[in-house]
Structure 1
Amino acid sequence: MHFRAQTRLQFIIFMLVCAAFTNIYITQPVLPVLRQDFNTDLVMVSFTVSAVVLGIALANLPFGLISDKFPVRPVIATGGTAIVLCGLICAATDNLNVLIAARFVQGIFVPSLTTCIVAWLSRSLPPEKLNVVMGAYVSATVAGGLGGRLLGGWAFSPEHWRYAFVATSLFTLIAFSLALYGLPRDKREKSDPKAPAVRYIQLVRQWPLLRLYLCALSGFGIFSSVFNFLPFHLTQPPFAFTTEDTTLLYLVYLTGVMIGPVTGKLSNRIGSGNTLLTGAAVLCISLFMLLLPSVLAVTVGLILLCAGFFTIHAAAVGALNGKLTGGQGRANALYTLFYYVGGWAGITLSSLLYKHFGWNTLVGVLLVLLIIPVTAGCFERRFSPRGSGQIIAQPDQD
């Protein structure tokens, strides 16, 4: 693949995945406005976010199966159309139940633009190109997550939240149309329908894959726990931050946009194992800095937290797909499932730790979780120094 073709592919992937993730968090910053507009309580309006996440969790494994059986373009076209139509319904409805239902359907079809495109990439690209393009994928998840929040609560005034749905639907339409037109055709795009299927249980049983799934679980568990409870910590002395102050700090999230492509190139140069260890080391330093009673230390700590987490995430995704010789859709669906379970479990358990033991204990437990990416990095470094060359996801022969 020539440099120009690879750059074009990275742009297409970035746009498609960014659009998908923009849809997920669009109502998060305007929940108080939704509560007032629909004359309901905070629990009900929070379903406009959690319904999307639930839809993703439920649909991810089925779309893993779909991406292994069908060409990627019809899947993208169907999923993208469903997301756009539901976004327009969200913009037009005056019924909160309809809004929540439409958001749930959006979540169901998000994997058609994320899990399925990763599976297609892993079938279509050699490992060294895959690492770089997957860096663009990870950057897009960051940009989309942040972009959705900014679009819903900043680009448009909160009372005009419906315009944000229209704008996001238009962005999604452009992105998936670009993908349908611009994705290169490849003879490996279509799976052999007579080929025996790779089973989910077979993938989970293999330690070379399971250790990377656990990286997703622990990494996002650490990341989501810090960002969920840091605002509570910063309201306490010696910080006494206002909500506006904390929101400004969240802009360090943009670090992940730049880290993704760099991580892909780093993995090609030093191997996925060394890259995982580098990310874990950066994450460790960041957590220690978050313990210091200094605004500067917290700010630098958050930047390093983003850098370390997205280094681990991008390296793990690249290493996973570099190992696969089949079952790419299922393997990536499992990775995403572990990723979101890690985020949910991290926030849930961290809430108990923070409530009963405080910030320092919470950070201490998160430091212990770094054992997982360190272990994975050591195994990757020893047994697959370049993150490729292994034949892993072969179908069962029984």
Structure 2
Amino acid sequence: MHDSSSEVSPLRIQLVVFALVSASFANIYITQPVLPILQNEFGVDLLRVSFTVSAVILGIALANLPFGSLADRLPVQPIILTGGIVVGACGLLCAMTHNLWLLIAARFVQGVFIPALTTCLAAYLARTLPGEKLNVVMGAYVSATVLGGLGGRLLGGWIHPPLHWRYAFVSASLLIFAATVLAVRVLPRDDAHGSADKATVGYRQLLKRGDLVLILLCAAGSFSVFSSVFNYLPFRLGGEPFGFSTEMITLVYLVYVVGIFMGPLAGRISNRFGGGNTLLAGTLVLGCSLWVLGGETVPGIIGGLFGVCSGFFCIHAAAVGLLNRKLDRGQGKANALYVLFYYVGGWSGITGAGVAFEHWGWSGVLHMGLFLLFIPFAAGVSERIVESRER
């Protein structure tokens, strides 16, 4: 393991990581709170306008394996620089275009290059940080994804009323440009990308490990549930019996902030009670919260969303920790596979829930989520059995 990171303050590296990951994730969900606004402006159906979110997620899913391979072979700085330029430029294109399909295409390209900023950075951290610090940093990494997701939603929902949703894209692009320059200048160069042991691990070898595959499926299933709930929340809250405005719907997204604290907390819970128990606890909380979201009171909706965030980020952080603790090489490819499954699950969830919402309304989204929770439940049971044998 290369130790060039010792030349730069660990706090500076953490701040750079937090800034870059937050700025990257801000671009993913920027249209989510204004989907009804986009639907009216472009005159399209609900499913088509949801592509402005799912296209980004699909792009991320498709690009993760190639970028995972690059992360194990090349220095991280040129990859980050390329990704930051493309993501920011496409954001400016989104701000200018009046063609929905061009907007969706630009969002897809953003998704393709976001792994250059996130997956490659995760692999860089895995090979340059000592093992005892990796879990803590990955917890902070998860927290940064939460802050970025929340920030993108706030940009899209709160800047719209006085200005226009297009200005949110301009702000997000400026943030990604600034974070990219900062990362390229501050992150130490590493020479571990050429090590032979990394090259001996392929995607096929990783996918032959049943314990890893179950964690990957856990990521897909849990994010499918989470993304479905939050993507169709504006339509639920904008309709009867709530009738919320765009500003009010965006305010509700503040419950997302609980994930900032759940990332590191779930890591500590997992260290104390085991990863399997942590996955099961998160699944139980998420399932109960979906049931609560079926009600028609504002306190019930807020409480249910807090529970959804708490349960999901508990599962997510525990799964990331389990994955990295099971590996001693090939972290770039393994993390790329994790993000691939994660976002394929998110894309499938948003698409499937769109059909469910159009046919059965909000209850269709919730029932689909409850069904998918069998996946993280199975992963939790399996890990619990493994951990009990190791004691």
Which TM-score applies when normalising by structure 1?
0.82
Rounded to whole Å, the distance in 2 between the matches of 1:369 and 1:35 is 28
Flag structure 1 segments of 5+ consecutive residues without an equivalent: 388-398
Is 2:153–2:250's contact at 8 Å kept on the other side of the alignment?
no
**Counterparts of 2:67 and 2:369, CA distance in 1:** 32
Distance in 2, matches of 1:358 and 1:101, equals 28
Aligned to 2:274: 271
Contact 1:131 1:267 in 2 (8 A): no
Which residue pairs with 1:75 in the alignment?
A: 79
Deviates more, 1:325-334 or 1:358-367: 358-367
Q: Out of 300, 324, 328, which is 1:325 matched to?
A: 328
Distance 1:173 1:62, change over 3 A: same
Shift of 1:67: 1.0
- For residue 112 of structure 1, report the CA deviation from its aligned partner: 0.2
2 CA distance for matches of 1:156 and 1:129? 40
**Which of residues 111, 114, 118 is equivalent to 2:115?**
111
Letter in structure 2 aligned against 1:81: I
Of 151, 157, 182, the match for 2:155: 151
Map residues 49-68 of structure 1 onto 2, 5 A cutoff. Answer: 49-68=53-72
**Alpha-carbon shift at residue 10 of structure 1 (Å):** 2.8
1:155/1:312 CA distance change after superposition, 3 Å:
same
Residue 22 of structure 1, aligned match among 22, 26, 41: 26
User: What are the Cα deviations for residues 133-153 of structure 1, in whole angstroms up to 9, with x where unaligned?
Assistant: 112222222222221232234
Counterpart position of 1:255: 258
Task: Check the 8 A contact 1:33/1:159 in 2, yes or no.
Answer: no
Superposition deviation, residue 57 in structure 1: 2.6
Determine which of 156, 170, 173 is the counterpart of 2:177: 173
Structure 2 equivalent of residue 346 of structure 1: 349
1:86-105 equivalences under 5 Å are 86-91=90-95, 99-105=103-109
Q: What SS class does the counterpart of residue 374 from structure 1 fall into?
A: helix
- Residue by residue over 1:221-278, the C-alpha shift from the partner in whole angstroms, topping out at 9 and shown as x without a partner, is 22123234455555777x4443455443332122112222222333333332232222
**Offset at 1:177?**
2.2
Deviations 1:43-91 (A, max 9, x none): 6776554443332232122111111111212211221122233334444
Partner of 1:305: 308
Per-residue Cα deviation, 1:165-184 (whole angstroms, up to 9, x for no partner): 33222211221222223334
Question: In 2, distance between residues paired with 1:45 and 1:361?
Answer: 19
Q: Are the structure 2 counterparts of residues 172 and 369 from structure 1 closer, same or farther at C-alpha, using a change threshold of 3 Å? A: same
Kindly tell me the number of residue pairs found equivalent between the two proteins: 382
Contact 1:64 1:329 survives alignment (8 Å): yes
Compute the displacement of 1:219 (Å).
0.5
Distance, in Å, in 1 between the alignment partners of 2:135 and 2:335 is 14
SS in structure 2 opposite 1:69? coil
Given that residues 131 and 265 in structure 1 are in contact (C-alpha distance below 8 angstroms), is that contact kept between their aligned partners in structure 2?
no
Report the counterpart of residue 338 of structure 2 in structure 1: 335
Task: Tell me: CA distance 1:299–1:291, structure 2 relative to 1, closer, same or farther (3 Å).
Answer: same
Deviation by residue 1:320-368 (Cα, 9 ceiling, x = unmatched) = 1222222222211211121122123223334454555565565455334
Query: Residues of 1 paired with 2:14 and 2:148: CA distance?
Result: 15
Q: Identity over aligned residues, as a percent?
A: 55
Which residue pairs with 1:192 in the alignment? 195
CA deviation string 1:278-304 (max 9, x = no partner): 212222332232244543233212101
* Gap regions ≥5 residues in structure 2: none
Verify the 8 A CA contact 1:134 1:264 in the aligned structure 2: no
Instruction: Report if the CA contact (8 A) 2:54-2:347 is conserved.
Output: no
Q: Is the 8 A contact 2:32 2:231 kept in 1?
A: no
TM-score by length of 2: 0.83
Which residue is equivalent to 1:390?
none
